[in-house]
Amino acid sequence: MTCANCARTIEKALLKSGDIKFAAVNLATNTGFVVGKNVDLEKIRKIVESVGYGISEEPAELVEEKRFKRIKKNLIISLIFTIPVSILMIINMFFQKVPYFSFIEMIFGAIVIFYAGRDTIRGAWIALTHKHTNMDTLIFFGSITAWLTTVLSLFGIHISSFGAIATMIISFHLLGRFIESYLRDKASKEIKNLLKLQAKEARILVNGEEIFLPIEAIKEGMVVLVKPGERIPVDGEIIEGISGIDESMISGESMPVEKKIGDEVIGGSLNLTGVIKIKTTKVGRDTFLSKMIELIQEAQGAKVPIQALADRITNWFVPTIILLAIFSGIFWYFGFDKFYPFIENAREYLPWILNTNDPLSFAIFVFVATIVIACPCALGLATPMALITGTGLAAKKGLLIRNAEAIQTMKEVKTVLMDKTGTITEGHPKVVEHNLSNDLLKIVASIEKNSNHPLAKAISELSNDYIDIENIEEKSGEGIFAIFNGEEYFIGKPLDYSKYSKILDLGYTVVEVRKNGKSIGYLGIVDPIRPDSFSAIKLLKEMGIRPVMVTGDNERTANLVAKQVGIETVYAQVKPHEKLDIIRKYQAEGSKVLMVGDGMNDAAALKGADVGVAIGTGTDLAIDNADIIITQEGISKIVDAIQISRLTFRVIKQNLFWAFFYNLIAIPLAMMGLLHPAIAEAAMAFSSITVILNSSKINLKSYNKTFITKKKKLACCS
């Protein structure tokens, strides 16, 4: 694909198949995303090939590397012939006539167009034979028209020869493609850094011996040995050893994390200090790193609503430019004598304007300049290039953006709803008080062992001696029921919170134990507030965003935590389905709502919010209802997400403005005969490069310069 029209053509063909309900083809990443029923790769391949394109199953980075090498080779060949013919053209025009210059133009031009520029000709031919147009169509018509003037002049037809200009057009086009490819590769460096973290092999232990196996051969349950300084090759659980682990490339957290027996580790993280043995729990595409890369690539390949306008324009762009170029040529052919004085006056200030008295020569000059000045590439790259760099920066900050549309929506968020447990608090609660006997404690711990709720985990750790429990049923937002020795037990929310007022005043969360409906005990649990929650709430307020706590916990505990972190609005003892009602309330008031939760009891709320953000820890990537996943830390990442959204969208608008502005100014100038075709092609290439360079401003340095200063000022004031 060479321009947005190529991507648009493939999309339309896919959607016409009937089985495909949604298709998004991304020019910047050369990827496609398809949703439908009864669809397989072969069917998609046939559809794509039917409009002249193809599908590669090679890794994207390998395809891009081959493309880059091919462009580089063709550029070198074109420059070998273009530079001397350009020098000869200047000598021929301003100093003395060069013998056989027209023959040199024709031969050199043929080599540059038909050999160095063969990919452009192939692209134009594919488009024309499949009844559509693309960027290659414009370059092909422009260069071949210029070259044919040389051929015609050699056959005795009185016309100015533009053969040298034809070589310049192709060379500038290839130079633009080369720089564009290099910058696109640089812009997507974050995803490439993640790909580099994927191990090629792992050291496993078999009967006490160390054996190196390709990563593809590693299976669940195998024991992997990792020494200090080595990257951990698999997701797994430490079964022997203690070490500091650097997870910065995955979580964005620079400080090493100490891991011991029983802790989970992530493939791609770096083992720093000790020798550890890891039992493999996930392999291949199921690993955290693989899913992380997949999610980022999916977001980079998606589209945001603002791109729809650019897509509609580019759909008609190339055919319109061809018509305008033909119209301009005809206009100047028949109106040359009438407007010649205008050209004479303009030439005093713009020496590159063709100096000729021949209407046909000037008409061709204008036709070529108009057809090569237009640039749908800049429009097509404006949004996807910003998305590539934006999602890359988000990944570096510990954020996985699953839904690219969230980037456009987040900048408009005015209300942030957040759960308490595991969101504002650390999600690693501890039981600090209880009145249960040892026997009852064993039963309660055994029941809670079957739940994934953070409070349940804290309770289950009170005993190591578990017993078998029957008929376990967990009710979201309420608690857990179970049968033991014919008796029904319930562990969860108290029926009457007033009984526990003294404990609640201390800020404890109370979990009640009931047997056959009668209260028989309680547990007081404390979940420490995340250190970053305090500054995050202040920053949200500073940004004009209203923070709201929505929790299933009791009102006293919720209000105490809210007061500590600075939240004024609290909804306590809220059931999961009621969170969605609260979101709808704020949305009805005209507020864009962001919901952040732990991804367990908050699924409906995450889905119903304008932007859903899930706190994902470790290898927890099974949060299908969230638009964004925070891989580590807490709600301070919400601030980062909103700031990255604002920065990315600002760059998207700048890109679109310059792309529109460039075409709006350049096309009329070319039609008026005020631009030389070589300058026009150079300007066209520069417009795409400008969009990519502007997109590269979305980086860590720019983010820190713009937003970290604000955080430091706020921290000083607090």
* Residues identified as active-site: 419
Q: Apex CA 68: angle with CA 62 and CA 69, to 5°? A: 95
- Type of residue numbered 171: S
Give the C-alpha separation, 446 to 462, whole Å. 10
Task: Name 189's Cβ contacts closer than 8 Å, sequence gap at least 6.
Answer: 392
User: Do residues 603 and 627 lie in contact, with contact meaning Cβ atoms separated by under 8 Å?
Assistant: no
Whole-Å CA distances, 45 to 38, 40, 49, 52, 123? 14, 9, 6, 11, 18
Put the strands of the sheet holding 201-206 in their side by side order.
209-214, 201-206, 223-226, 276-282, 235-240, 264-265
Task: Name 252's Cβ contacts closer than 8 Å, sequence gap at least 6.
Answer: 396, 397, 398, 399, 631, 632, 633, 637
Task: Name 403's Cβ contacts closer than 8 Å, sequence gap at least 6.
Answer: 299, 302, 627, 628
Start-end of H helices in 247-400: 248-251, 288-300, 307-347, 359-373, 376-396
Crossing angle for the helix pair 359-373 and 677-695, to the nearest 10 degrees: 10
Per-residue DSSP letter, 551? -
SS3 553: coil
User: Do residues 486 and 409 lie in contact, with contact meaning Cβ atoms separated by under 8 Å?
Assistant: no
Q: Find where tokens 């260069």 sit.
A: 143
Sign of CA dihedral 11, 17, 22, 23: negative
Give the C-alpha separation, 453 to 549, whole Å. 19
Task: Using the CB atoms, write b or e for 232-248: b if 16+ within 10 Å.
Answer: bbbbbebeebebebbbb
Longest dimension (CA), the chain: 110
